[in-house]
Amino acid sequence: MPVRSGWLSADGQSREDTRLVSLGALTPTSPVGTRSGILPGSYTGLYRLAAFTVTGIANTMTATVSPGRAVIQAPDAQGVVSSRGAYPIALTEYVTIAFAAGDAQYGRIDLVVLRVYDDAYDGSGRTEAVVEIIKGTPAATPAAPTAPDLTLPLYEVAVQANASAGTNAIAWSTALTGRRTATVGVGGILPVSTDSGIGSYPGQYRDSDGQLQRWSGTAWTNYPVLPTWQDWTPTWTTSSGSVLPALGNATVSGRYVKFGTTVHMNFSIAFGSTTTYGTGATTSDNWRFSLPVTAASVQPHIGYAELGVSNSARATARLYCATTGTFELLIVSGQPSATALTNSGAVDALTPWTWASGNVIKGGATYEAAS
């Protein structure tokens, strides 16, 4: 019968039923499959995983494994769903494991695993969960052995050539490489470090070494999605549009970032030999520059800019939104030198001085975007 029930029949609930319909469902990997892993947590809250920690005993070939809880899922593939379910396991006290002596010539890598034996399926003659060592093959460049079915890798342990109890025992300070992975209740945030597996469903969350990530359906993406700075080249026009300036060979750079409805921007314009500047103050044809993102409204003060010429004359201008798509500059102070400020107010071809090649405008602003 493909429909399984738990705690319903008075005498017909099998072991498979119990494993398949657990009420405390953990991280799913398929419609009926569960992610194998260790339940996170520590006594002090300092560590992601404290369960099944392997700690070597100095000057020996032995180590201890700490208590914990875990789940091991039977093999489960798309279209071929295992009827065996997931095996919940608890280690309630420390256990000691012993490693074989090192090879006379080469080092090897052993794999410490949590393993389930189920005679009903594997014919092993055993029905139990154990912590055991899968011995690696000695080699000039050793590799960890492949984990058998129904195992959860815990640690790789490097066993050097000629290792034995005493002064040449396993070098525990460098021998251990963690392989533990976690599993949590469905909907919980999964703690991972080196895990490269795919997510189970769009909207699943995980904590990757402190960075919250969300599964999009195709990839893990940082959450919230943080904005990135982008290039932007302002378009140069005037308030009347009668005689338009032209950048020519000016050097222009601009960057902006949008976070929600807040926009931060900065820009720099160094005028060149072929730059033209439009008309002067007598026509009130003020310079305008395009905003990188449409503003929510005409805003009277969004930032400041520094205006300069090669002989160190300086002026400061206030930036304001002339329209929801543009900003203008209004002179607020100046530092005259050989070239004094000849006009005040808005900026144009003759204000605050007669512009020429080598002059610069550099500024930045923050404003509210339309959306």
Tokens representing residue 302 in the block: 């969004």
DSSP 167-190: TTS--HHHHEEE---B--BTTSPE
- Indicate the DSSP class of residue 164: -
- SS3 call for 295: strand
Q: What is the pLDDT of residue 163?
A: 97
Q: What is the pLDDT of residue 340?
A: 47
Q: How confident is the model at residue 249 (pLDDT cuts 50, 70, 90)?
A: very high
Tokens representing residue 73 in the block: 């899922």
334: phi then psi, degrees, rounded to nearest 5 = -150, 160
Residue 319 near residue 365, CB atoms below 8 Å:
yes
- Residue among 271, 282, 367 nearest 326 (CA): 367
Q: What is the pLDDT of residue 217?
A: 95
User: Hey, how many other C-beta atoms are within 10 angstroms of the C-beta on 1?
Assistant: 6
pLDDT reading at 20 higher than 90: no
Q: Which residue has the higher pLDDT, 351 or 108?
A: 108
Q: What is the pLDDT of residue 225?
A: 82
Q: What is the mean pLDDT of residues 291-311?
A: 92
Q: What is the mean pLDDT of residues 206-222?
A: 93
Q: What is the pLDDT of residue 23?
A: 45
pLDDT reading at 55 higher than 60: yes
pLDDT reading at 2 higher than 60: no
pLDDT reading at 1 higher than 90: no
Predicted TM-score (pTM) of this structure: 0.68
Percentage of residues in the chain having pLDDT higher than 90: 64
Q: What is the pLDDT of residue 358?
A: 92
Q: What is the pLDDT of residue 242?
A: 78
Tokens representing residue 177 in the block: 């490489």
Q: Which residue has the higher pLDDT, 101 or 284?
A: 101
Q: What is the mean pLDDT of residues 104-119?
A: 95
Q: Which residue has the higher pLDDT, 232 or 243?
A: 232
CA distance 247 to 118: 78
pLDDT tens by residue, 313-364: 788 999 999 999 999 999 887 654 444 455 557 898 888 888 999 999 999 9
Neighbouring residues of 336: CB distance < 8 A, sequence distance ≥ 6: 313
Q: Which residue has the higher pLDDT, 156 or 197?
A: 156
Q: Which residue has the higher pLDDT, 225 or 168?
A: 168
301: phi then psi, degrees, rounded to nearest 5 = -155, 110
Neighbouring residues of 212: CB distance < 8 A, sequence distance ≥ 6: 189, 205, 206, 222, 223
- SS3 call for 233: coil
* Average pLDDT score, the chain: 88
Q: What is the pLDDT of residue 337?
A: 47
pLDDT tens by residue, 255-277: 999 999 999 999 999 999 999 99
Name which of 31-40, 61-70, 88-97, 281-290 the model is least confident about: 281-290
